[in-house]
Amino acid sequence: MKVAVVGTGYVGLVVGACLAESGNDVLCVDKDEAKVRMLRRGKSPIYEPGIEDLLRRNKAEGRLSFTTDLAKAVRQSTIIFIAVGTPQGEDGSADLQHVMGVARDIARAMNGYKVIVDKSTVPVGTAAKVREIIRRETTHPFSVVSNPEFLKQGAAVEDFMKPDRVVIGAEDEQAAELMVALHKPFTRTGAPIMVMDCASAELAKYAANAILATKISFMNEIANICDLFGADVDHVRKAVGSDRRIGTSFLFPGVGYGGSCFPKDVKALTKFSSDKKYDFKILKAVDAVNEFQKRVIVKKIDAHFGNSLKGKTIAVWGLAFKPKTDDMREAPAIPIIEALLAKGAKVQAYDPEAMKVAKGIFGSKVSFSAKNYDAVKGADALVVVTEWQEFREPDFARMKKLMRSPVIFDGRNIYQREQMKTLGFTYFSIGR
Ligand SMILES: NC(=O)c1ccc[n+]([C@@H]2O[C@H](COP(=O)([O-])OP(=O)(O)OC[C@H]3O[C@@H](n4cnc5c(N)ncnc54)[C@H](O)[C@@H]3O)[C@@H](O)[C@H]2O)c1
């Protein structure tokens, strides 16, 4: 099929590359000329495992190309994905200006029947609004489809290639059939393709992210209660997770959730519910707990040093909002580092992939280390903020020699308490 994908960010690039991989002709569009130039050279502007291989192969085989010319992409495609950002607006709502702008530009370039797909995460009712905008601009026939994306950064290619399910919100059979055919190659292991109305598809995406965020905030509160009562959240988590009605995933407490999705999607669902005079009480609490949780580790650090961090050197391992990405949007590392700096501490930070992004955020306020062990040199304490694989089994003896004092604040509970004690570290974690 002839496909266009507008927006080559964490979602659009993966969608475009994976659809090319399954044999479609894909033209990806971005307004960012520098990004398009990079992509044309076969380089990915983002870090995402597996993406560069897909780019190289499908570009070489002529199935994947990149342009800034949206009109050209529309003219030569039947299915056009809108995968631009829907950032948080000032009042917590999803800012739809990019989606609506692209919808209008698509309509103006149409030269025949097109399926316009909302891939971006958009509030309930957006497909209807997109349909209205396009109807005003063109006399050509078209369908609008809502096809929310459930991939997770760090495993985005794998998630798209082997989805748990594909959700298609469609108002007519022709568009539904085209979308089902497009996704068939990805569901051969039996994952369901669910066709429903657009409003349900739009809400399914927010409901999924909201449940995941709720699980995280809930376990963070359980961990805080563990701290108060001397219980161990690892035992609680395992006992709870072995109940099949609950499941083991997303029960890990930590420094709060971040990223470009959970924070904004929780707020947007709360906001569009309140627009209909519905008070989404649970989600307000989920958001408030998350804000609180980002400060828990800083409070522990502050307390250990007698509320006097002035002149202390704190090493930070992990800056990205989660492992295997360079994305720092809403990363808990940001408020944690800002709080440490505000208390007069010196911060030495390291991340395997997010250093470039972090330098853009903190500039010279933070000292960035080329290697993880460089960051702990002369440090009064280490804080683990992101659980990258390479932090899990470090050379503790080497660290102990390098650090001014052997103190670890483990914001992701990746080390064993007994082991830390045996090795002679003063060790703090979350809920243990
Ligand atoms: N990041 C995720 O893990 C994830 C997962 C599922 C859904 N989503 C949703 O997918 C959407 C995109 O998210 P993302 O993380 O890929 O965003 P992103 O910011 O990484 O990428 C958006 C891209 O769109 C481009 N763009 C903006 N306006 C444009 C225009 N008018 N014409 C052409 N290109 C334009 C930008 O230059 C950018 O490259 C959001 O709605 C998000 O909520 C994201």
| Mean of pLDDT values over 202-210 | 98
pLDDT score at 296: 98
pLDDT at 165: 98
Q: What is the pLDDT of residue 253?
A: 98
How do residues 21-51 score in pLDDT, each as one tens digit?
A: 999 999 999 999 999 999 999 999 999 999 9
The pLDDT, as a whole number, for residue 158 is 97
pLDDT in tens, 299-339: 999 999 999 999 999 999 999 999 999 999 999 999 999 99
Q: Based on the residue annotation, tell me whether 261 is a catalytic residue of this protein.
A: yes
The rounded Å distance from CA 84 to ligand 1 centre is: 4
* Percentage of residues of the chain with pLDDT beyond 70: 100
Using the mean position of ligand 1's atoms as its centre, give its distance from the Cα of residue 97 in Å.
12
Instruction: Determine which residue's CA is closest to atom 37 belonging to ligand 1.
Output: 32
**Predicted local distance difference test score (pLDDT) of residue 168:** 98
pLDDT tens for 127-177 read: 999 999 999 999 999 999 999 999 999 999 999 999 999 999 999 999 999
Q: CB–CB of 197/171 below 8 Å?
A: yes
* Among 29, 158, 167, 260, residue to substitute to test ligand 1 (most atoms within 8 Å of Cβ): 260
Instruction: For residue range 340-352, list pLDDT tens digits in order.
Output: 999 999 999 999 9
The pTM for the full model equals: 0.96
Average pLDDT over residues 363-380: 98
Nearest ligand 1 atom, CA 260: 1
Number of the ligand 1 atom closest to the C-alpha atom of 101: 31
Q: How confident is the model at residue 59 (pLDDT cuts 50, 70, 90)?
A: very high
Ligand 1 pocket test target in 30, 47, 97 with most atoms within 8 Å of CB: 30
Q: Which atom of ligand 1 is nearest to the CA of 261?
A: 43
3-state SS string for the chain: CEEEEECCCCCHHHHHHHHHHCCCEEEEECCCHHHHHHHHCCCCCCCCCCHHHHHHHHHHCCCEEEECCHHHHHHCCCEEEECCCCCECCCCCECCHHHHHHHHHHHHHCCCCEEEEECCCCCCCHHHHHHHHHHHHCCCCEEEEECCCCCCCCCHHHHHHCCCCEEEEECCHHHHHHHHHHHHHHCCCCCCEEEECHHHHHHHHHHHHHHHHHHHHHHHHHHHHHHHHCCCHHHHHHHHHCCCCCCCCCCCCCCCCCCCCHHHHHHHHHHHHHHCCCCCHHHHHHHHHHHHHHHHHHHHHHHHCCCCCCCCEEEEECCCCCCCCCCCCCCCHHHHHHHHHHCCCEEEEECCCCHHHHHHHHHHHCEECCCHHHHHCCCCEEEECCCCHHHCCCCHHHHHHHCCCCEEEECCCCCCHHHHHHHCCEEECCCC
What's residue 136's pLDDT?
98
pLDDT confidence of 292, banded at 50, 70, 90?
A: very high
Angle at the Cα of 399 from the Cα atoms of 394 and 400, rounded to 5 degrees: 130
Q: State the average pLDDT for the chain.
A: 98
Q: What is the pLDDT of residue 257?
A: 98
pLDDT at 148: 98
| 16 C-alpha to ligand 1 centroid (Å) | 12
Q: Write the pLDDT tens digit of every residue in 145-155.
A: 999 999 999 99
Query: What is the structure's pLDDT at 76?
Result: 97
Q: How confident is the model at residue 396 (pLDDT cuts 50, 70, 90)?
A: very high
Atom from ligand 1 closest to the CA of residue 11: 16
Pocket perturbation via mutation, ligand 1, pick of 5, 8, 10, 102 by most ligand atoms within 8 A of CB: 10
Q: Which residues line ligand 1 (CB under 6 A)?
A: 6-12, 29-32, 35, 83-86, 98, 101-102, 120-121, 149, 151, 153, 260-261
